[in-house]
Structure 1
């Protein structure tokens, strides 16, 4: 193997099965997390959004770091790595996931997933600005088409001027920008530690941010129902420990254009799960907006190739 080449990325080499397995985990589990967040913070779930985030993050952090320590992985990190993981953890979890959890008190899980699916569009825009490169016509067209799809998704709320739905949509709009910013930080400032350790520290720093928000906003103490506790357990074990760690592995093992295909698989699966299990309505606005957002994301990836 030539120096500087990564496994699974050599020209003509097949994609590694380990990387594809982790991508499958991201496809399936992340699609379902929107459903379980909706159950946990929705009516009868009993979890305020930021206490849900704080409790989930601290448990995940301790489990991941303990697992890494027992496997004799390097757990100590440098000051530079701490800054990177703190910033990316806060952007990815507190900024993005926190706004998702807040919005899902009022918004359907499928709608939420479709709004957040625009994150790769924002990622491309942020990278273009940072690189000071003139974007291609395909990228510009994809960005505009994807943003138009978001407007279509918000169409019913705009026509009815439903303030609660508009606030939820605005929060999800900001959530996708925060996720994009966190992804850019993580890719532009790589850390030389294992995926579980990286994930563990990001969860740890995020737990502090969630707890601060919960206390600052005076959230009520959680009083979870059985469905709320089951959702919390699923989000801890599968949504964070398995899926987020798999996402980090996916970025390490697969080409970025393959790894990021989760962005147009997850919203479709999440939309189906919300319709199937929570009886969430799928309207013409939803289908048209979903198609436009997904095509916008596909166009972004094609322009990056």
Structure 2
């Protein structure tokens, strides 16, 4: 029980840290160009991951899957963070945290590895989230989405594709999470270095407050959050973990209002409520569908196997299903 509660507290802490990342990114981009912020975040993360690997007494050998998958995912993750950071720079931290939570309902739509159709209730929940986005992009009334809101919406779509790609490249393969994260951070650093080179002098002369934000984004919002999530999930259920991590937009709104001085109008408050309700509902519907379908398929296979076994036994009679029996009766009477 104590281990479960400790895992729950760690997952809530991860959600809080991720929720605070939007205000930190907004503060950092107010002092530095977005490309400089992205390069610094990746470079510090890469150094931290390298230090963690160096501290291991028995370092594990790297595999080709880790390097190949990490390289591809490093590119997609860099695109996600680039669009997301540009979006945060042009909208409120609260709006950013709420809109990006669309990833929860978008990911199952893109991740169709199992080829199962989602139930209608899931699409209703997704529609509720889309309506919430429309309300969140309004302040005093409905209007076209602002640049930052549109970028956060694009970031949610790209992140959903990135998450689906993570599943396709890592499921069933011997991939070490720390190795994978290290490759991604190195790839991101290499991608943003040439783009951020003109801003390096500005980065070097940044204030202590700006560097604090950059270090916080790199060490806490990236490296620590990922490793803590991996550890905590092992001490609880996947459903419980996803529920606790799903509180991220709530923390984003709370921190944006309390520390960032942001405020929600009536329209955006309604949008926030619909977004949280829609994402939680869609998450619950998808999880229930994902866990129930394999069980139904297993029961169906067992029934088929029993019927086949009974048919192979000498003198066995296999009972017809009610549907087949009624069709035969109708055929006899015509």
Instruction: Bin the TM-score by the shorter chain.
Output: 0.7 to 0.9
- TM-superposed CA distance for 1:197, in Å, is 2.7
- Equivalent residue number for residue 125 of structure 2: 142
- The CA deviation at 1:229 is 1.6
Other structure's SS at 2:264 match: coil
Q: Establish whether residue 56 from structure 1 lines up as the match of residue 41 from structure 2.
A: yes
Give 2:76's aligned residue: 91
User: Which of 276, 279, 285 lines up with 1:294 in the alignment?
Assistant: 276
Match of 1:33 in 2: 21
- Residues 149-158 or 181-190, more deviating: 149-158
- Asked if 1:268 is matched to 2:250, the reply is yes
Corresponding residue for 1:82?
Answer: 67
Q: Answer yes or no: is the 8 Å Cα contact 1:87–1:182 preserved in 2.
A: no
Q: Which string of whole-angstrom CA distances, capped at 9 and with x for unpartnered residues, describes residues 33-59 of structure 1? A: 1111111002xx2x2112211122122
Distance in 2, matches of 1:245 and 1:54, equals: 21
CA contact (8 A) 2:136 2:272 kept: yes
Q: How many residues align?
A: 283
Equivalent residue number for residue 171 of structure 1:
151
Distance in 1 between residues matched to 2:218 and 2:57, nearest whole Å: 23
Report the Cα offset of residue 151 of structure 1. Answer: 1.7
CA distance in 2 between partners of 1:212 and 1:143 (Å): 39
Alpha-carbon shift at residue 110 of structure 1 (Å): 0.8
Which digits, 9 at most, give the CA deviation of each residue in 1:201-226, with x for residues without a partner? Answer: 222222223335546xx768435233
Mapping for residues 14-29 of structure 1, pairs under 5 Å:
16-17=4-5, 19-29=7-17
The answer to whether the aligner puts 1:126 opposite 2:107 as a matched pair is no
Relative distance call for 1:213 and 1:116 in structure 2 (3 A) is farther
Equivalent residue for 2:138, pick from 148, 155, 158: 155
SS at match of 1:95: helix
Instruction: Structure 1: state its 5+ residue gaps.
Output: 1-12
1:166 Cα deviation after fit: 1.9
- Bigger Cα displacement from structure 2, 69-78 vs 171-180: 69-78
Deviations 1:69-121 (A, max 9, x none): 321354543232222222223323x2222222112222111111011111111
Match of 2:95 among 101, 111, 114: 111
Q: Which runs of 5+ in 2 are unaligned?
A: 289-334
Counterparts in 2 of 1:160 and 1:122: CA distance versus 1, 3 Å: closer
- Structure 1 stretches of 4+ with a deviation exceeding 6 A read none
Residue in structure 1 matching 2:189, options 207, 212, 217: 207
**Cα distance, 1:175–1:263 mapped onto 2, change above 3 Å:** farther
Residue 311 (structure 2) aligns with:
none
> So what's the TM-score if we normalise by structure 2?
0.76
The 8 Å contact of residues 67 and 180 in structure 2, kept in 1 or not, is answered as no
Q: C-alpha separation between the residues in 1 aligned to 2:121 and 2:2?
A: 28
TM-score, normalised by the number of residues in structure 1 = 0.82
Residues 11, 245 of structure 2: 8 Å contact kept: no
Matches within 5 A, 1:213-228: 213-214=195-196, 221-222=202-203, 224-228=206-210
Shift in CA distance, 108/131, structure 1 to aligned 2, threshold 3 Å: same
Distance (Å, rounded) in 1 between the aligned partners of 2:166 and 2:6: 21
Match of 1:71 in 2: 56
**Cα RMSD (Å) of the superposition?**
2.6
